[in-house]
Chain A
Amino acid sequence: MRTAGAAAALLLLLAGCGGGGEEDEVVVRFWGMGREGEVVGELVPEFERQNPGIRVDVQQIPWSAAHEKLLTAYVGEATPDVAQLGNTWVPEFEALGALEPLDARVAASQAVRREDYFPGIWDTNVVGGRTYGIPWYVDTRVLFYRPDLLAAAGHPRPPQTWEEWRDALRRLKARMGPDRWPILLPTNEWPQPVILGMQSGEELLREGGRYGNFRGPGFRRGFEFYVGLFREGLAPTVSASEISNRYQEFERGNIAMFITGPWEIGEFSSRVAPSVPWATAPLPGPDGPGVSLAGGSSLVLFRGSRRKDAAWKLVEFLSRPEQQVRFYQLTGDLPPRRSAWRAPALAENRHAAAFRAQLDRVRPLPMVPESEQIVSKVFEQGERAARGQATVDEALATLDREVDRILEKRRWLLARRGEGEPRR
Chain B
Amino acid sequence: MTDLSTGTAEVAAGARAEAALAATRGRRRRFRAPAEDNRAAYVFLAPALVLIGLFFFLPVLAALALSFTDFDIYAVGDAGNARFVGLRNYAQLLDTPLFWQALRNTFYFALVGGPLSIAASLAAALLLNARLVRFKTFFRTVYFAPFVTTLVAVAIVWRYLYHTRYGLLNYLLDGVGLGPVDWLGDPRWAMPAVILMAVWKNFGYNMLIFIAGLQAIPEELYEAARIDGAGALQRFRHVTLPQLGPTLLFVGVITMIGYFQLFVEPYVMTMGGPLRATTSVVLLMYEEGFRWWRMGFAAAVAFVLFLVILAATFVQMRLQKREAA
Please name the residue on chain B nearest to A416 by beta carbon. Answer: B81
**Contact partner of B73 among A239, A369, A424, CB < 8 A?**
A369
**Contact partner of A424 among B78, B273, B290, B293, CB < 8 A?**
B78
Complex Cα–Cα for A244 and B163 (A): 8
B112 to chain A, nearest CB (A): 23
A323 at the interface (CB under 8 A from B): no
If A237-B185, A409-B74 touch, whether A188 touches B290 (CB-CB below 8 Å) is no
B77: which A residues are within 8 A, CB to CB?
Answer: 74, 95-98, 424
Bitwise, B160-174 to A at CB < 8 A (1) or not (0) is 100110100000000
B293: which A residues are within 8 A, CB to CB?
Answer: 71
A241 in contact with B70 (CB, 8 Å): no
A242 in contact with B72 (CB, 8 Å): no
B78 in contact with A238 (CB, 8 Å): no
A97 in contact with B78 (CB, 8 Å): yes
B273: which A residues are within 8 A, CB to CB?
Answer: 187-188, 239, 383
B159 at the interface (CB under 8 A from A): yes
Please name the residue on chain B nearest to A240 by beta carbon. Answer: B271
**Contact partner of A244 among B92, B159, B271, CB < 8 A?**
B159
If A239-B185, A244-B160 touch, whether A71 touches B76 (CB-CB below 8 Å) is yes
Please name the residue on chain B nearest to A75 by beta carbon. Answer: B76
Interface residues of A in 237-255 (CB under 8 A from B): 237-239, 241-242, 244
A96 in contact with B73 (CB, 8 Å): yes
A68 at the interface (CB under 8 A from B): yes
A68: which B residues are within 8 A, CB to CB?
Answer: 290
Interface residues of A in 376-401 (CB under 8 A from B): 380, 383-384, 387, 389
Interface residues of A in 81-123 (CB under 8 A from B): 92, 95-98
B310 at the interface (CB under 8 A from A): no
B292 at the interface (CB under 8 A from A): yes
Which A-B residue pairs are the 8 nearest by beta carbons?
Answer: A96-B77, A373-B292, A242-B185, A238-B185, A424-B78, A97-B77, A239-B273, A188-B273
A228 at the interface (CB under 8 A from B): no
Residue of A92, A237, A244 with highest tally of chain B CB at under 10 A: A244
B275 at the interface (CB under 8 A from A): yes
Please name the residue on chain A nearest to B163 by beta carbon. Answer: A244
If A241-B270, A244-B159, A387-B275 touch, whether A96 touches B184 (CB-CB below 8 Å) is no
A95 in contact with B274 (CB, 8 Å): no
Please name the residue on chain B nearest to A380 by beta carbon. Answer: B276
Complex Cα–Cα for A244 and B274 (A): 15
A187: which B residues are within 8 A, CB to CB?
Answer: 273-274
Binding site for B on A (CB under 8 A): 68, 71, 74-75, 92, 95-98, 187-188, 237-239, 241-242, 244, 369, 373, 380, 383-384, 387, 389, 405, 409, 412-413, 422, 424
Complex Cα–Cα for A405 and B93 (A): 12
B81: which A residues are within 8 A, CB to CB?
Answer: 409, 413
Bitwise, B35-62 to A at CB < 8 A (1) or not (0) is 0000000000000000000000000000
A74 in contact with B76 (CB, 8 Å): yes
A413: which B residues are within 8 A, CB to CB?
Answer: 74, 81
Q: A98-B77, A239-B271, A239-B274 are in contact. List 18 more A-B contacts (CB 8 A).
A: A71-B76, A74-B77, A96-B74, A96-B76, A188-B271, A237-B274, A239-B185, A241-B269, A241-B270, A242-B184, A373-B291, A383-B273, A383-B275, A384-B275, A387-B187, A409-B81, A413-B74, A413-B81
User: What are 15 of the A-B contact pairs (CB < 8 Å)?
Assistant: A68-B290, A74-B76, A95-B77, A96-B73, A96-B74, A96-B76, A187-B274, A237-B185, A242-B182, A242-B184, A242-B185, A373-B292, A383-B275, A387-B275, A424-B78
A241 in contact with B274 (CB, 8 Å): no
Q: How many A-B residue pairs have CB under 8 A?
A: 70
A98: which B residues are within 8 A, CB to CB?
Answer: 77
Please name the residue on chain B nearest to A405 by beta carbon. Answer: B92
A92 in contact with B78 (CB, 8 Å): no
A209 to chain B, nearest CB (A): 14
Please name the residue on chain B nearest to A244 by beta carbon. Answer: B163
B92: which A residues are within 8 A, CB to CB?
Answer: 405
Complex Cα–Cα for A96 and B79 (A): 11
B76: which A residues are within 8 A, CB to CB?
Answer: 71, 74-75, 96
Query: Taking chain A's interface residues, is the majority helix, strand, or loop, or is none over half, making it mixed?
Result: helix
Please name the residue on chain B nearest to A254 by beta carbon. Answer: B165
Interface residues of B in 73-103 (CB under 8 A from A): 73-74, 76-78, 81, 83, 92
A389 in contact with B275 (CB, 8 Å): yes
A96: which B residues are within 8 A, CB to CB?
Answer: 73-74, 76-77
A241 in contact with B74 (CB, 8 Å): no
Complex Cα–Cα for A413 and B70 (A): 12
B81 to chain A, nearest CB (A): 7
B164: which A residues are within 8 A, CB to CB?
Answer: 242
B292: which A residues are within 8 A, CB to CB?
Answer: 373
Complex Cα–Cα for A248 and B278 (A): 28
A387: which B residues are within 8 A, CB to CB?
Answer: 187, 274-275
A238 to chain B, nearest CB (A): 5
Complex Cα–Cα for A188 and B190 (A): 15
**Contact partner of A409 among B70, B166, B182, B275, CB < 8 A?**
B70
A74: which B residues are within 8 A, CB to CB?
Answer: 76-77
Residue of B74, B182, B187 with highest tally of chain A CB at under 10 A: B74
If A68-B290, A383-B275, A387-B275 touch, whether A369 touches B78 (CB-CB below 8 Å) is no
B184 in contact with A241 (CB, 8 Å): yes
If A187-B274, A237-B185, A241-B159 touch, whether A95 touches B74 (CB-CB below 8 Å) is yes
Complex Cα–Cα for A297 and B70 (A): 30
Complex Cα–Cα for A373 and B297 (A): 14
A424: which B residues are within 8 A, CB to CB?
Answer: 77-78
